[in-house]
Amino acid sequence: MVSEQVQLPPFQALIDEHWRDVIRLARALAGAVDGDDVAQRAWEKAFAAYPGLTSARNLRSWLLTITARCATDVHRARKPQTPLDDAPPIAVAGPDAAEWPDPDLWRAVNELPERQRLAVTLKYVGDLDHHGVAAALDTTPAASRRLVSDALTTLRDKLGVHHV
């Protein structure tokens, strides 16, 4: 039996088509400070794995899954920092207001438990369906639906938004 060669587009074409999705998701998951590093790490991992892909189906979802996992790695690597009492405060620019029009919403999203935060961000920022979210989080579509639902309920309660 002869294995069939997978026809993948050139890696640059993949970057050209999906770089905005990767950076947007990376910044949403890791914040303005770490988002660019997460996106860079995701592209590096994707580049290393690209020649070994066995399917060219849904490359966007594959990239966003890598991005979500890189963001999770950054969160796990963070150690609690002890503030220095005599250190001056450091000003960090937040997300661009044009991209993130509701800072209260994003503060609330960042306070969600990790899996809920990842699920709701993959669903609404990454625009993945529940199968894509499930693949990124290594769970089932039913569990993905539940994570997103729980996250939305928590966000509605925190923000005082209730639909009619």
- From residue 81, alpha-carbon distances to 33, 38, 86, 89, 107 in Å are 16, 20, 15, 14, 20
Q: What is the pTM of this model?
A: 0.64
Question: Out of 19-33, 69-83, 104-118, which region has the weakest mean confidence (pLDDT)?
Answer: 69-83
The reply to whether 69 and 31 lie within a common domain is yes
Reference 64, options 129, 115, 13; nearest CA is 129
CATH of the domain at 144: 1.10.10.10
Residue with tokens 């026809």: 7
The reply to whether 71 and 107 lie within a common domain is no
pLDDT of 78-135, one tens digit each? 755 555 455 444 433 334 434 556 777 878 888 888 889 889 888 888 888 888 888 8
- Total domains in the fold of the chain: 2
**Dmax over Cα atoms in the chain, in whole Å?**
70
Does residue 67 fall inside a structural domain? yes
